[in-house]
A and B are shown apart, each in its own frame.
Chain A
Amino acid sequence: DQQVKQNSPSLSVQEGRISILNCDYTNSMFDYFLWYKKYPAEGPTFLISISSIKDKNEDGRFTVFLNKSAKHLSLHIVPSQPGDSAVYFCAAKHGSSNTGKLIFGQGTTLQVKP
């Protein structure tokens, strides 16, 4: 049962343009959503998060949008830079659990071309 899904395995964008990475979830009990970035041979790095009570959170070039009715969130990167090329994971935390367990999507590989 894949509760968090990233249906696009890869995305290619030109430098300076917008990158939009998408994530869908099935469990309405998730209360926090996080995006992680992963470079090869490194562990995932926390990027940005959003609470389920909000619909937008912005941090510099990164903005996460949450559409609870559609159970969908997206990460916007503007403008995209070659250094943003990495694998991006969407993750969700169950609100009724105090364990902090994260459920991860499969990841989307972003390539930003110079």
Chain B
Amino acid sequence: EAGVAQSPRYKIIEKRQSVAFWCNPISGHATLYWYQQILGQGPKLLIQFQNNGVVDDSQLPKDRFSAERLKGVDSTLKIQPAKLEDSAVYLCASSQSPGTGRSYEQYFGPGTRLTVT
């Protein structure tokens, strides 16, 4: 079974530029998460999708971050304009729908390391 795929793996941009990250979850997983992991900290949830609807985006800086999940499969996370403090690893994860099996177990992709200079 293929895991969660993410691209690009690394990205370096200047502040005020824009950047986009892509995620393809595990086949059949209806729930998709985007996390931000700053160096020395644990992952922090930015946004959660259930199919193509947003379930939780309470910690997403909506003035500069946006995300979408068209057709309930792939997802993109965009930052525009980027700030220095956005330098972090952006992790995508997926899980089964709530209430099904071990839906609390999330499976992570390799992440995208973003450096803003």
Contact = CB atoms under 8 A, between A and B. Distances in A.
Contact of A100 (B6, B42, B106): B106
Nearest to B6: A43
Nearest to A87: B42
Size category, B interface = 20 to 34
Size category, A interface = 20 to 34
Given A99-B48, A104-B43, A45 B108 contact: yes
A7 B106 CA distance: 24
B22 to A, nearest CB: 15
Interface stretch (B61-69, B75-83, B97-105): B97-105
Contact of B110 (A4, A41, A102): A41
Contacts, number: 62
Interface in B1-22: 4, 6
B111 interface: yes
Given A44-B43, A106-B42, A107-B42, A100 B108 contact: no
Given A34-B105, A49-B104, A102 B45 contact: yes
A99 B98 contact: yes
A100 B107 contact: no
Given A43-B109, A100-B104, 8 more contacts: A42-B110, A43-B91, A44-B91, A100-B103, A100-B106, A102-B45, A104-B44, A106-B42
Interface of A: 4, 6, 32, 34, 36, 41-46, 49, 89, 91, 93, 98-102, 104-107
